[in-house]
Structure 1
Amino acid sequence: MNTTFEYGRQFVVDNRKDLESYLCSLWKEYKEIWPAQHEDENPDSGSNSGSSSKYQPFLSFDGNFARARNYIGFIHFENSNIEIYPKVFQNELKEPETRKIKELMHRHLFYWFSYCRKVKFPFNQASLDRFDFELPELILYLFAKQICEVISLRPYSAYEEVQEALFTPRGRINFDRYAARMSCGNYHMIDCDYEPFIFDNLLNRTIKYCTRLMLSKTRVIETQRILNEIIFMLDEVDDRVCSVQQLQTIRIPSMYSDYEDVIQICCMILKNQVYSYQEYEFKNWSLLFPMEYIFEDFISGYIRKHFSNTFKVEPQKSDLYLHTSPNTFNLQHDILLTNKKTEEQIIIDTKYKPRWNLEKCDSKKGIAQTDMYQMISYAYRRGTDKVLLIYPNTSDKPADDSVFLIYKGTKDETIKIKAVDVPFWSLDGHLSVEKKLKAELRSILSDEF
C-alpha cells in the first residue's frame, strides 16, 4: 500500500506502462464528470506529450516512480494499491500511514462530502461510525451499510414491462410478434406485453449485481456479513450482469426517494469497474476526486446552509461577459452573495492553494498575481467593491486576514479584496471545523472589510 498526499513524495510503481494505460482509460470516464479546468492540466506536457488521448491527471510518472497530482482517493490496479490524501494535511500529519491519522483524515473527507453537491457521497451521517478501515474498505463498508438499511426499511417493487407468449391474453397483444409466430404455426401462443408489479425488477437486479461485485473485493468480515445479508434479502431476484446505461433509465417514484442514494452508489460502482474474465470480480477499482472542486463545493454548501437567511447564494454565477456584442470572455464566479436587505454583492472565489509559511512571505501574502487580476476584472464587471478570496488553513490556527485596496484611477473609488484562511480541517476533528468555520464566516460576511 502506497499512502501519499497530493503532490507528495514519489513512490515506486509496478508495471508503469499498464498502470498508466489504465489511468488514461479511467480519465475517459472521469472527464465527463470533471471538466478539464485544473491549473496543472496540460496534455502536451511531461510523459504524456503529443497525444491528449494518453493524458490523465491522476499521477505523474518519472521512470518507475509516480507522484500524485491534484486528485484524492484511491487506485487499485492489479498489485498496486495507492491512497492519496489532501495536501492541506501534509505539514501537520507527516505520517499518513498510521491508523489514528487516517481516521482523522477520513472523518474530514466525509464531513466535506456531506456539504457537497458535485461530489455527493450517498451516506447517512449516522452510518459513519467505523473509520478503522483503509479508505477503499471504508467506502465498501459504507456502501454496503447504506444499501442494507434502505432495502430492509422499504423493499422496492415496481411495474416492469414483460414480453411473453401466453395461452390466454394478458395486457396488450403484440400483433407484429403474434403474426410472425402464426407464420411458424404457433398460432395457439399469443404474444402479450404487460406490466406486473414485481420485486424481481431492474433496480433490484442491479443492486444484487453490485453487491456481488463488492463482495468479491472486500476482505473485511463485517462488510462481507452485510453484503451477504443484502443478497439474502434479494434472494428472489435473478442474478444478471447489469450496466450503468440500464441503471440510468430507472425512474424512482417519490415514495421510494431513499433509493436515489442507492442508485448513486450502484452508479459509482459500475462506472469505476473494469471487468475481468471471471463474473462478479473487480479486477481494478478506483475512486478519485479533484480537491479544487471539493473545497469550492464544501464552502458553497456550507454558506448555503448557514447563511441563506441573510444572503442569496448563487454558486457558479456566470451571467456576465467581459466583452459583449458578441458575448465573449465569460465570467464565472465560484459564489456570488447578494444581501437580501441591502442588495450589496460579494464575490467569493475559493482557492485550493495552501499558503505555506505566510509569516515569511512577501507583501503579496501568497496570492498569485493572475488571481488578483482575475478578481479585479470580476469586481469591475459585476459593479461591486467587495471580493473575498477564501483559502484553506495550512495549520491548526488559520493565518490572519489580508486586505488589498485597488484604486479605480482615483482614490475615491476602490475595490476591496480580502484574502482569508478559513478552518477547513482541525487536529481536534471535523466537529471543531463546523463550529469555527461558522464563527469565521459570520465575522467576515458581517464585516465591511
Structure 2
Amino acid sequence: MSTVAEVLSIIEHETIPVVGSRSYGERSITVKHAGLLAKLTTLPPNAFTWGHQSIKWSQYCGLVQLGDITLEILPKIHGNESEPGACRESLVRMLKQAGLLKIHKPGGADINLQTHTLLDIFIYDFCEQLNQQLVQGVIRRYIVREENIGVLKGKLLAQQQLRHNLAHKERLYCQYDELSEDILLNQAIKYTLRLLLPRAQSPRLKNELTQLIYTFDGVADTLVEVSDLERISLSRNEKRFEPILRLCIIFMQALNPGTGAGGNRMFSLLFDMNQLFERWVAAMLKPVARENGWRLRQQGPKRFMAYREDIDKDVFQMKPDICFIDDDGIPQLIVDAKWKLLELSEAKLGVSQADLYQMQAYANRYNCPSLCLMYPRQDNCLGEYRLTLQGEISSNLTVKSVQVARLQSRSWA
C-alpha cells in the first residue's frame, strides 16, 4: 500500500536549504530530494535556481513531488505571506477566475481550501467536472467487432468462416457494429482516475475516485499515452467532455507514472504566475469593458513594429496582453500585467525601462490614448500612480496595483 508523501508548503522566491538529513516538517529538502529534482524532466527550465546548498524557486507555483515529499509552491500574496492556507486559497481562486479551474461550492460538500493540499483541490475539480458530465451519461460509440458465434449477427466473413469453421458448421464468423463504452476517451478517463487515486490524501476524495472508477467498470484498464489522446476527435454531442480530456492530458503529463531512482515517484504540476496573473487580470477587467461598451481582447490585436523591404515582410510582431477595443475596432486602452513587485521608494516606481519602452511603442503603433501597467498589491502601495508618456503622441500611463488576496470572504465565488 502506497504511503502518502509529506507536504511542505513554501512561498515563491523562497530559498530552501539542501541538507544531508531532515526531520518531518523541517523546511528543507535532502541531497537525495535535490538529486530527484535535477532529474525531473517535466519542470520548466527556469522553475528554480541552484544556490550554495540551497534552491530558490522562481515565479512558478503548484506541486512538485520528490519521492516521499511533495513541495507545494504557493504565490507570495500581500498580507498573507505567513499564511500558506490563505496563499493556497488565493491561488485556487485565481485559477478559477482565470478559467483554469471550474470548481464550485456544491451544497453541503465543500472542500476546505485552507487545509487541503493543492493536488487534492485539483483532483476534486476533476471529479466535479466529470460527475457533471456523467449525469448525462457515459460516451458510447459504435465499434466494429469480429466474433465466431452461434447465430448470424451483422455480416458473415466468408474467408474467416472457411478458415475457422470447416469442421464446425454450427459456428458463424461474423462482423458487426456494437455500441460500446470501451473507447479511447473512456479508457483515458479511467486511466487518469487510477493515476490520481494513490495520490489523493483526503479519504473522502479517495472514495469519490473509487466510485468513479466503478462507473467505468465496462471500460478496459489500458495504459494510455498523451500521444494517444491527440488522435481523439470529439463529435458535436461529445464536445461536453472536451474540458475533461484537457484535464486528463494535464494530469498525465504532470503525474508521470514513471519513477526515479530507487522507485521514488516524481511529478510536477506548475503554473507560471506571469501567465496566470495576466489571465486573472483579463477576467477581472471583462465587466469594465462591458460597462464602457468595449470588447476585451487578450494577446492582440497583433501588429508589426517594422517592415523589412528587401524581403517584403513585416517584422517585430506586437501583441498586447489586454486591449479594450470600441465598436469601430479602435484600441481605447491597453493593459500589460506584470507579476512582480514595485519599488515605491523610487521615482520610477520600480517600473523597468524595457516595460516603459514597450508601453510607449504600444501608444505609438496603436495610437492608443490610455495605457495601464498592472501589478499585484504590496506594502505602502497607494494603488494607483499616473505618468504621462512624452513624445509625438502623448499618452496617459496608469501604474496600478490590484489586491489579489481576499482578506474577509472565504467563499468560492
TM-score by length of 1: 0.75
**Other-structure match for 2:76:** 87
1:232 to 214, 225, 231: 214
Q: Which structure carries more relative contact order (alpha carbon 8 Å, separation 6+)?
A: 2
Change over 3 Å in CA distance of 1:306–1:261 after alignment to 2: farther
**Cα contact 1:216–1:282 (8 A) shared by 2:** no
**Other-structure match for 1:109:** 91
Spell out, residue by residue over 1:28-52, the C-alpha distance to the aligned partner (whole angstroms, 9 max, x if none).
Answer: xx6xxxxxxxxxxxxxxxxxxxxxx
Change over 3 Å in CA distance of 1:385–1:192 after alignment to 2: farther
**Cα contact 2:74–2:88 (8 A) shared by 1:** no
**Cα contact 1:16–1:64 (8 A) shared by 2:** no
Partner Cα distance (1:306, 1:385) in 2:
17
Matched, 1:21 2:27: no
**Other-structure match for 2:56:** 67
Matched, 1:291 2:273: yes
**Cα contact 2:140–2:181 (8 A) shared by 1:** yes
SS in 2 for 1:317: coil
2:15 to 9, 25, 38: 9
Spell out, residue by residue over 1:140-182, the C-alpha distance to the aligned partner (whole angstroms, 9 max, x if none).
Answer: 333334434432x1221321423424456755788xxx75x58
Partner Cα distance (1:339, 1:17) in 2:
52
The count of corresponding residues between Structure 1 and Structure 2 is: 381
**Other-structure match for 1:383:** 367
**Cα contact 1:107–1:429 (8 A) shared by 2:** no
Q: How far does residue 301 in structure 1 lie from its aligned partner after superposition? A: 2.2
Give the gaps of 5 or more residues in structure 2: 1-6, 19-28
- Per mean C-alpha deviation after superposition, the further-off stretch among 423-432 and 311-320 is 423-432
Instruction: Supply the AA of the counterpart residue of 1:386.
Output: S
**Cα contact 1:76–1:286 (8 A) shared by 2:** yes
SS in 1 for 2:297: strand
Determine what percentage of the aligned residue pairs are the same residue: 19
Q: How far does residue 419 in structure 1 lie from its aligned partner after superposition? A: 0.8
Partner Cα distance (2:318, 2:401) in 1:
24
SS in 1 for 2:323: strand
Partner Cα distance (2:285, 2:383) in 1:
21
Spell out, residue by residue over 1:368-406, the C-alpha distance to the aligned partner (whole angstroms, 9 max, x if none).
Answer: 1111111111111111222111111124x8524211112
SS in 2 for 1:324: strand
SS in 2 for 1:241: coil
Q: How far does residue 300 in structure 1 lie from its aligned partner after superposition? A: 1.3
**Other-structure match for 2:130:** 147
1:186 to 164, 186, 191: 164
SS in 2 for 1:222: helix
Q: How far does residue 293 in structure 1 lie from its aligned partner after superposition? A: 0.4
SS in 1 for 2:187: helix
Change over 3 Å in CA distance of 1:320–1:88 after alignment to 2: same
Q: How far does residue 26 in structure 1 lie from its aligned partner after superposition? A: 0.4
**Cα contact 1:388–1:419 (8 A) shared by 2:** yes
Give 1:396-415 correspondences, 5 Å limit.
Answer: 399-408=382-391, 413-415=393-395
Partner Cα distance (2:74, 2:299) in 1:
26
Change over 3 Å in CA distance of 1:320–1:128 after alignment to 2: farther
1:123 to 96, 103, 120: 103
Q: How far does residue 346 in structure 1 lie from its aligned partner after superposition? A: 1.2
1:156 to 135, 138, 147: 138
**Cα contact 2:66–2:264 (8 A) shared by 1:** no
SS in 2 for 1:261: helix
**Cα contact 2:143–2:180 (8 A) shared by 1:** no
SS in 2 for 1:105: helix
Matched, 1:223 2:205: yes
Q: How far does residue 128 in structure 1 lie from its aligned partner after superposition? A: 5.7
Change over 3 Å in CA distance of 1:351–1:162 after alignment to 2: same
Partner Cα distance (1:88, 1:134) in 2:
17
Change over 3 Å in CA distance of 1:192–1:2 after alignment to 2: same
**Other-structure match for 1:46:** none
**Other-structure match for 1:45:** none
Spell out, residue by residue over 1:48-87, the C-alpha distance to the aligned partner (whole angstroms, 9 max, x if none).
Answer: xxxxxxxx22221225421111100010121232111112
- Per mean C-alpha deviation after superposition, the further-off stretch among 418-427 and 300-309 is 300-309
Spell out, residue by residue over 1:280-324, the C-alpha distance to the aligned partner (whole angstroms, 9 max, x if none).
Answer: x99223210000000101111232355335112111015211111
Instruction: Supply the AA of the counterpart residue of 1:415.
Output: S
Matched, 1:425 2:409: no
SS in 2 for 1:230: helix
Partner Cα distance (2:110, 2:248) in 1:
19
Partner Cα distance (2:148, 2:240) in 1:
36
Change over 3 Å in CA distance of 1:193–1:264 after alignment to 2: farther
Partner Cα distance (2:126, 2:363) in 1:
43
1:250 to 226, 232, 251: 232
**Cα contact 1:74–1:135 (8 A) shared by 2:** yes
Partner Cα distance (2:110, 2:327) in 1:
36
**Cα contact 1:122–1:264 (8 A) shared by 2:** no
**Other-structure match for 1:136:** 119
**Other-structure match for 1:345:** 332
Greater helix fraction, Structure 1 or Structure 2 = 1
Give 1:295-310 correspondences, 5 Å limit.
Answer: 295-305=277-287, 307-308=289-290, 310=293
Spell out, residue by residue over 1:165-221, the C-alpha distance to the aligned partner (whole angstroms, 9 max, x if none).
Answer: 4456755788xxx75x58x93376887665422233322222222222221222321
